[in-house]
């Protein structure tokens, strides 16, 4: 009989033992009222049939917020989902003040997320994530403090846009890149025109530089092994030859007359006069000077006789 009594006492005593883990706190309810401070981790003894212990997890809880559909301040329909990190700092309030603190935090987070969407524009949702996260954290933390809950962090995970809006944003970005490219090209043209203007002024002061540049162009074109070579004959070269030709020699006189004839034809073409008139003037001058130019070949003017003699009519 005594043995049975001892066994019964052992069973009753063992039923009153509770183990509280390191990350938990134990709340003891005696006849429905919270009795004493929360039990710390370790072995705890309660009175069977009288006390009831409820364990509260003190770890940080990761609570995902389902995607919320909303309209931004600039009238764009978006879908935003986020995640909330929180933990219990007061086990008594978390159990007594709210029925289910996890569900309550989730509902407050969804409502706050929809409010943030309505107060922000699309650019803020896409670029200013840190500011929105802080504002969302304050909105959730305000009611959660009275429940013994502390919001550690809130993160907006993804912002989903309609396909039409994605295409519109893609076109906008492409147009912006084209605009920047055209501006850069225009700036390059402006800088190049300034440098060309300086080069033209320098060549105007030194006519020989233009001839050197012409020769360099010929060398560059010839390096490409083209079958056809178009070589312009500048008027400045005629002026150079005229100024450096002796006025007393017979060949020099013939050369100057040929230069004057060529210059007259070029000036006629530049003034935009009739092509027939310009050709007639050039042809007549060349025809009149052909015998002299041929006779002056012995005097050194052979280099200028580049065409066939033209018959004078």
Mean pLDDT across the chain, nearest whole number?
Answer: 77
For residue range 136-146, what is the model confidence (pLDDT) as tens digits? 999 999 889 88
For residue range 92-101, what is the model confidence (pLDDT) as tens digits? 999 998 989 9
For residue range 152-195, what is the model confidence (pLDDT) as tens digits? 999 998 888 888 888 888 888 889 999 999 999 999 999 999 98
Distances (CA, A) of 308 to 157, 173, 265, 301: 85, 63, 17, 15
Helices (DSSP H) in the chain: which residue ranges?
Answer: 2-15, 91-96, 101-119, 122-127, 129-144, 163-205, 207-223, 235-243, 250-270, 275-295
For residue range 18-72, what is the model confidence (pLDDT) as tens digits? 889 999 999 999 888 888 889 999 888 888 888 888 999 999 999 999 989 888 8
**In this predicted structure, which of 142-151, 177-186, 260-269 has the lowest mean pLDDT?**
260-269
223 pLDDT above the threshold of 90: no
């Amino acid at each position: 009989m005594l043995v049975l009594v001892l066994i019964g006492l052992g069973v009753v005593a063992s039923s009153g033992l509770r183990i509280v883990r390191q990350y938990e706190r134990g709340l003891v309810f005696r006849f429905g009222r919270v009795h004493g401070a929360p039990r710390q981790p370790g072995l705890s003894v309660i009175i069977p049939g009288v006390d009831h212990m409820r364990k509260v997890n003190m770890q940080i809880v990761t609570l995902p917020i389902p995607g919320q559909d909303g309209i931004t301040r600039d009238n764009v329909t978006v879908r935003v989902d986020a995640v909330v990190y929180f933990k219990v700092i007061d086990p008594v309030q978390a159990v007594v003040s709210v029925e289910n603190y996890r569900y309550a935090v989730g509902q407050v987070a969804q409502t706050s997320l929809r409010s943030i969407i309505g107060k922000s524009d699309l650019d803020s949702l896409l670029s200013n994530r840190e500011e929105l996260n802080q504002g969302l954290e304050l909105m959730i933390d305000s009611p959660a403090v009275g429940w013994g809950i502390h919001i550690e962090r809130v993160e907006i995970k993804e912002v989903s846009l309609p396909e039409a809006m994605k295409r519109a944003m893609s076109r906008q970005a492409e147009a912006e890149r084209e605009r920047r490219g055209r501006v850069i090209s225009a700036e390059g043209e402006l800088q190049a025109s300034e440098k060309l203007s300086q080069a033209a002024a320098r060549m105007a002061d030194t006519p020989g530089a233009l001839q050197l540049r012409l020769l360099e162009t010929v060398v560059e074109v010839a390096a490409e092994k083209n079958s056809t070579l178009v070589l312009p004959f500048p008027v400045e070269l005629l002026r150079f030859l005229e100024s450096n030709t002796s006025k007393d020699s017979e060949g020099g006189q013939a050369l100057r007359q040929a230069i004057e004839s060529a210059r007259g034809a070029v000036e006629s073409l530049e003034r935009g006069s009739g092509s027939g008139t310009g050709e007639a003037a050039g042809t007549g001058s060349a025809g009149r000077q052909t015998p002299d130019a041929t006779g002056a070949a012995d005097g050194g003017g052979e280099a200028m006789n580049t065409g066939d003699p033209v018959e004078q009519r």
